[in-house]
Amino acid sequence: MTEEVLKDEKTPKYDPSILPDMLPVYYKRLFPHKPFYRWLSYGLSEANIFANREFSYTLHDDIYIRYRCYDTQSELENDICSTCPHKIDIGAVMNTKPKNFRTTSTAMQPVQRELVFDIDMDDYNDVRTCCTGSTVCLKCWKFMALAARLLDAALREDFGFEHILWVFSGRRGVHGWVCDHDARHLDSRGRSSVAEYLQISSNVTVNGAVVARVQIGERMHHSIRRALKFIEPLFEEIVLEDQNLFGDVNGVNKLLAMIPDDMARKDVEAYLKKTNSDGSNSRTVWTSFVRYVNSLRTGAASIWTRKLKNIIEEIQLGILYPRLDINVTKGMNHLLKSPFCIHPGTGKVCVPFNCNVAAKFDPTTVPTISQLLQEINAFDDKSKSKENGEEEKSRIKDYKKTGMFKGVVVFEEFLRKLESSLKTKAIDISDQTMEF
Catalytic residue among 54, 77, 89, 314: 54
Average pLDDT (405-433) is 86
Average pLDDT (281-288) is 93
User: Mean pLDDT score of the chain, rounded to an integer?
Assistant: 91
| 354 is a domain residue | yes
Write down the pLDDT at residue 429. Answer: 62
* 43 and 183 inside one domain: yes
Considering 29-38, 202-211, 294-303, the range whose residues carry the highest mean pLDDT is: 29-38
| 210 is a domain residue | yes
pTM recorded for the entire structure:
0.92
* 291 and 338 inside one domain: no
CB-based burial of residue 295 (10 Å sphere; 0-12 exposed, 13-18 middle, 19+ buried)?
Answer: exposed
* 128 and 250 inside one domain: no
Average pLDDT (362-381) is 94
Write down the pLDDT at residue 436. Answer: 43
Write down the pLDDT at residue 286. Answer: 96
**pLDDT tens track for 300-353:** 657 777 778 899 999 999 999 999 999 999 999 999 999 999 999 999 999 999
Write down the pLDDT at residue 167. Answer: 99
**pLDDT tens track for 128-174:** 999 998 889 999 999 999 999 999 999 999 999 999 999 999 999 99
Write down the pLDDT at residue 253. Answer: 92
| 387 is a domain residue | no
Note if 278 is an active site residue. no
* 89 and 129 inside one domain: yes
**Banded pLDDT at 10 (limits 50, 70, 90):** confident
Q: Is the pLDDT of residue 393 over 90?
A: no
* 181 and 226 inside one domain: no
| 1 is a domain residue | no
Q: Is the pLDDT of residue 8 over 60?
A: no
Give the DSSP H/E element, type plus range, for residue 210.
strand 209-214
Q: Is the pLDDT of residue 3 over 70?
A: no
Average pLDDT (249-255) is 92
* 153 and 42 inside one domain: yes
Average pLDDT (235-244) is 97
* 308 and 358 inside one domain: no
**CA 289-292-293 angle, 5° bins:** 85
Catalytic residue among 77, 89, 114, 120: 120
Q: Is the pLDDT of residue 7 over 70?
A: no
Least-confidence region, from 8-17, 53-62, 106-115, 255-264: 8-17
Answer whether 73's CB lies under 8 Å from 33's CB. Answer: yes
**pLDDT tens track for 47-88:** 999 999 999 999 999 999 999 999 999 999 999 999 999 999
* 169 and 45 inside one domain: yes
| 257 is a domain residue | yes
Percent of the chain predicted with pLDDT > 70: 92
**Boundaries of domain holding 249:** 202-320
| 5 is a domain residue | no
Exposure of 238 in the CB half-sphere (CA atoms within 13 A): 25
Note if 54 is an active site residue. yes
Tally of structural domains, the chain? 2
Write down the pLDDT at residue 301. Answer: 56
Write down the pLDDT at residue 422. Answer: 94
Q: Which of 260, 290, 320 lies at the terminal end of a domain, its last residue?
A: 320
* 37 and 180 inside one domain: yes
DSSP string, 328-352: HHH-SS--EEPTTPBPTTT-BB--B
Answer whether 70's CB lies under 8 Å from 79's CB. Answer: yes
| 37 is a domain residue | yes
The 8 Å CB, 24+ separation contacts for 397-401 are 398/29, 398/30, 399/30, 399/32, 400/3, 401/3, 401/5, 401/6, 401/375, 401/376
Q: Which of 262, 287, 320 lies at the terminal end of a domain, its last residue?
A: 320
CATH number at 68 reads 3.90.920.10
Catalytic residue among 77, 118, 123, 152: 118
- Return all residues near 122 (Cβ < 8 A) that are at least 6 apart: 172
Question: Which is higher by pLDDT, 3 or 228?
Answer: 228
Q: Which of 282, 302, 320 lies at the terminal end of a domain, its last residue?
A: 320
Percent of the chain predicted with pLDDT > 90: 78
* 310 and 333 inside one domain: no
* 151 and 89 inside one domain: yes
Least-confidence region, from 3-7, 121-125, 171-175, 337-341: 3-7
**Banded pLDDT at 278 (limits 50, 70, 90):** low
Write down the pLDDT at residue 71. Answer: 97
How many Å separate Cα 313 from the centre of its chain? 25
**Banded pLDDT at 279 (limits 50, 70, 90):** low
Write down the pLDDT at residue 354. Answer: 98
| 391 is a domain residue | no
Report the C-alpha gap between 267 and 257 in whole angstroms.
Answer: 13
Note if 118 is an active site residue. yes
Report the C-alpha gap between 317 and 300 in whole angstroms.
Answer: 26
Q: How many CB atoms lie within 10 A of CB 386?
A: 11
* 250 and 310 inside one domain: yes
